[in-house]
Structure 1
């Protein structure tokens, strides 16, 4: 991607964990950021967040003009979007709040400016429904926590979105170091969250039924499938499981087992007993470490893992052209 595709100014609306992650990533890419949040303590929280994230970003590589202080908090949506070349919305995951916020952003921003919503599950056509100026530029741009390290962003257009808007968004997010995945058609939960939710529901059943503790479930992922998934994903992992015959042989040999009742895709009832099991298990795993300490440990691991993944998966550089 060329420097011209990098948005010079990014407006970030809502500065919770995800919004702050977008801010850190944009600053590291050399963008200026204008931010808006109703919380009067937001600016202080955000600047502390960016300072904590900066060492990991430095290790991965900053843009020549990256500046963690190129951040301005403003007191209105109008001030936030003025001059912005990309807008990222991160307000609470409630359709009525997002719809109203996006309608206001659509009315304020120049019609060619892409407005991405970080929603993890709402379809873009529903987000666009109250917009009257340029609804097609309102799209889903769903990242993953921590946004400043994990590169995937799912881009989903709605009924009013043209291919040109999607291509513009794809270029802008890629210029910020993201790996855009253009989802072929809109669906609740998009792609990655639907996969993670399936595993999450099954994990809750295993804990609820006394088959495994939270620590044992996590160990099964960390030391088993997770290691392979970080390089190959789901399908290529199973392709290797078929030996020389690849996926075709694997499906013929093991495919019938998919009909066996091994999994329970509906979530178990969230009883107080299950909540206690899960919460107590996680607190035991945390072993007295604060969330901030665990985040620092996570970031150190992810930076090394990203470096390793890039070393062994150089063909990922060409992924954009195949999506």
Structure 2
């Protein structure tokens, strides 16, 4: 049985552990948190997962490493040095980072050729996407191996040609979220109504076709050129930026619409994941 070392037992790390274990891997889950054994028993019950307090010990004999620790560069430098020492020279060292560039993580590392980003979308065990991002020194063999591993796990790995801050998914998400906040701040729409609008339009569309495919279909038989020359040519309005000093009103609206706290969070996560599974099932069947 292949072995994966997963470093970090937060939300993302637990998601990775579920995914790899269900995919037939022996999982070594490393985290210094004192309740790690309890986490394994409660959230990973029945799966082939072993808890380790130290990353180096978990990585010994691993065929793949998936890091999901804190988003601090100093922390990752020390951690990846430890992982490099504990693993064979052909083992991929993948970070789940959503903000740090792989070249920054690999700076000064003798294992820079096998360090890359394997960025999931939360929840990591459910959402299909993994962005596979190379650093300046990442080898093509490491990238090929990562693509194979994630693909074999049933994910949709997307190979970026080069690194860029925020990668692709989060850059798109940031632009969309910023405009959503701006529209609420401007009194154009309530936060809850904006969510409902997206779910009834763009969210549903983008679950079946991406932006470029959607534009191509939107132009009819003539395709994207027709769309850009007609409807698209009139999209000349300015796009505003959210006002950071007025974030309080947005937070107040979102809290009023959805609440917060442990119980509300658990209810929201359960509802979200149940709906996502149903959508994925339908998409898989077609």
TM-score by length of 2: 0.93
Equivalent residues of 1:238, 1:247 under 8 A apart: yes
Equivalent residues of 2:67, 2:96 under 8 A apart: yes
Determine if the alignment matches structure 1 residue 15 to structure 2 residue 6.
no
Determine if the alignment matches structure 1 residue 297 to structure 2 residue 271.
yes
Q: Deviations over 1:252-285 (max 9, x none)?
A: 1133334421x22x4421546335424424435x
List alignment gaps of at least 5 residues for structure 1.
1-6, 52-67, 313-323
TM-score by length of 1: 0.83
Distance 1:272-1:295 versus aligned 2 partners, 3 A rule = closer
Aligned match of 1:142:
119
What SS class does the counterpart of residue 208 from structure 2 fall into? Answer: helix
Please give the root-mean-square deviation of Cα atoms over the aligned residues, in Å.
2.0
| 1:1-323 pair list within 5 angstroms | 8-50=2-44, 68-132=46-110, 134-261=111-238, 263-264=239-240, 266-271=241-246, 273-274=248-249, 276-284=251-259, 290-312=264-286
Distance 1:23-1:288 versus aligned 2 partners, 3 A rule = closer
List alignment gaps of at least 5 residues for structure 2.
none
Q: Deviations over 1:60-97 (max 9, x none)?
A: xxxxxxxx331100121221101111101111112222
What SS class does the counterpart of residue 34 from structure 1 fall into? Answer: strand
How many residues matched?
Answer: 286
Partners of 2:251 and 2:209 lie apart in 1 by 35
Partners of 1:232 and 1:214 lie apart in 2 by 25
Distance 1:107-1:282 versus aligned 2 partners, 3 A rule = farther
Higher relative contact order (CA 8 A, sep 6+): 1
Partners of 1:287 and 1:48 lie apart in 2 by 20
Distance 1:275-1:226 versus aligned 2 partners, 3 A rule = closer
Distance 1:112-1:267 versus aligned 2 partners, 3 A rule = farther
Q: Deviations over 1:19-45 (max 9, x none)?
A: 000001011111110011121113323
Structure 1 outlier segments of 4+, above 4 Å: 286-289
Equivalent residues of 2:181, 2:250 under 8 A apart: no
